[in-house]
Amino acid sequence: MNLNDEEKAMLAGEFGQVARIAIRHQITVGDFFGAQDFVPVTQAHVMADTESLGQAGVLWLESLAEAKDGRHRVRVPTITDPRGTDFSKADVIGQADWMLHLERRAIDAFVALGVSMTDTCINYQTVLSATRGEHVAFGDTGVVIYSNSVNGARSNFEGGPSALSAGLTGRTPRYGFHLDKHRQATLHVSVEWTPRTLNEWGALGGVIGRLAGNYWQVPVIEGIDRSPSSDELKHFGAAMASFGSTALYHIVGITPEAFRAQDVNGHMLPLRHHIGKSDIDALQASYAVDNRVDVVVFSAPQLSLFELRSIAELSQGRTFKVPLLAITSPQIKPDADRFGYTEIIESAGGTVMSGMCFYQSYAREIAETKGWKHLATNSAKLVNILGGYGYVPKLASMEACIAAAEKGELQ
């Protein structure tokens, strides 16, 4: 890679031991992907849950935070993805003391490095949304696809060490979706029925993700008959990234880089894929193996204030028969408390949790401890993941999930 004078100084250790470790890692990544040089980034977003980090990852963080030369702070604003727990509600999901101890060690190390513990996968709805053309280094796949597609920012999927390295150096290798050529469409899709509910938007994202099936595929989508909301695009993109490793899509006339199909080369692509309501229904039905429900979870992505408002409205006058978990960000939880949404949900028997994500919180161990196997959710991303953790997940609307929490089964 071509290094400028500042980067050469980092590599020589003139900015401290930690910056040297970080840029050496980034050079290795850049060489692997054929990057010619680095691009400056304005912010970074790091996966922070200890289920992903493990003991080895936490020890590595601690070694950086304890650098003897004292020069180990991030150079650009660096925030975190959800943690592995909500400390105030750990007993609700049966998390063990060792999990909480590891979380606290990781938090201490991140704080020492100057990382802001935002604990959110919806920073584009809460903290500081990236803008069109802004180069960033984001780790969470749902964050990357939303920021690339809806905001027009530029990021690759950054692994934990790479995202933290970007925070420590203020740059990332210039490859992939930082380059114009990789932001052109490669797959032309026509949608013949526009979803109405969040689970349907997620299911549509899952269908397109399966068609793409490749990180480098960039779908251009036509046929959406209205402008989707932020929450709808959140579920749509998170599912597409989960089912297909997709990092960027374009919706003609809606997303900022594709006012016309020609803007992203879509007019040059054959239209081979037509997606109708039956395709969306089929994906959802593939998870409906039975009606039993042990737990209802709204998570992945974390809930917006509007989603919590809807859950509260639907919870009015109900008594839940099975646990219901509504998981949001630390930025939104105080407003949910202030507006009374938390009280309404918890009066019905639900639990509002903050700063975590269900599948990043030792979901397999939680299932064994609590006896939860059959899980209902309106998140297509969550059903795609949880089968690997031993659950039998079911994808349904928010209304159906809340009714299932009351009755113990999906109707």
Query: What is the chain's pLDDT, residue by residue, as a tens digit (411 residues)?
Result: 999 999 999 999 999 999 999 999 999 999 999 999 999 999 999 988 899 899 999 999 999 999 978 788 999 999 999 999 999 999 999 999 999 999 999 999 999 999 999 999 999 999 999 999 999 999 999 999 999 999 999 999 999 999 999 999 999 999 999 999 999 999 999 999 999 999 999 999 999 999 999 999 999 999 999 999 999 999 999 999 999 999 999 999 999 999 999 999 999 999 989 999 999 999 999 998 889 999 999 999 999 999 999 999 999 999 999 999 999 999 999 999 999 999 999 999 999 999 999 999 999 999 999 999 999 999 999 999 999 999 999 999 999 999 999 999 998
Residues 192 and 218 in one domain: yes
Alpha carbons 389 and 373: distance in angstroms, whole number = 9
Residues 141 and 213 in one domain: no
Domain containing 157 — which CATH number? Answer: 3.30.499.10
Q: Which of 123, 149, 179 is the last residue of a domain?
A: 179
Residues 330 and 239 in one domain: no
Domain of residue 243 covers: 184-284
- The neighbouring-strand residues paired with 221 are 189, 251
Residues 142 and 235 in one domain: no
Residues 129 and 149 in one domain: yes
For residue 28, the model assigns a pLDDT of: 98
Alpha carbons 179 and 77: distance in angstroms, whole number = 23
Query: To 10 degrees, the CA torsion angle through 80, 101, 300, 240?
Result: 70
Residues 138 and 155 in one domain: yes
For residue 289, the model assigns a pLDDT of: 80
For residue 69, the model assigns a pLDDT of: 84
For residue 411, the model assigns a pLDDT of: 86
* Three-point CA angle 397, 398, 403, nearest 5°: 100
Residues 198 and 332 in one domain: no
Residues 150 and 213 in one domain: no
Contact present, 148 and 167 (Cβ < 8 Å): no
Structure-token pair, residue 406:
């009351």
Is 313 strand, coil or helix?
helix
Q: Which of 262, 284, 306 is the last residue of a domain?
A: 284
Structure-token pair, residue 150:
């809806």
Residues 138 and 57 in one domain: yes
The total number of structural domains that make up the chain: 3
Residues 226 and 352 in one domain: no
Distances (CA, A) of 71 to 6, 15, 46, 67, 329: 16, 7, 20, 7, 31
Number of H helices, E strands in the chain: 16, 14
Residues 106 and 191 in one domain: no
Q: What string of DSSP letters covers 113-136?
A: TT-B----S-HHHHT----TT-B-
φ/ψ of 344, rounded to 5, equals: -65, -45
SS3 content of the chain, % helix, strand, coil (to 5): 45, 15, 35
Query: Closest Cα to residue 37, out of 143, 159, 171?
Result: 171
Contacts 24+ apart (CB under 8 A), 151-158: 151/124, 151/256, 152/255, 152/256, 152/257, 154/178, 154/183, 155/130, 155/247, 156/247, 157/215, 157/245, 157/247, 158/44, 158/45
Q: Which of 284, 313, 344 is the last residue of a domain?
A: 284
Gap between the terminal Cα atoms of the chain: 58
Residues 42 and 151 in one domain: yes
* Three-point CA angle 110, 111, 116, nearest 5°: 90
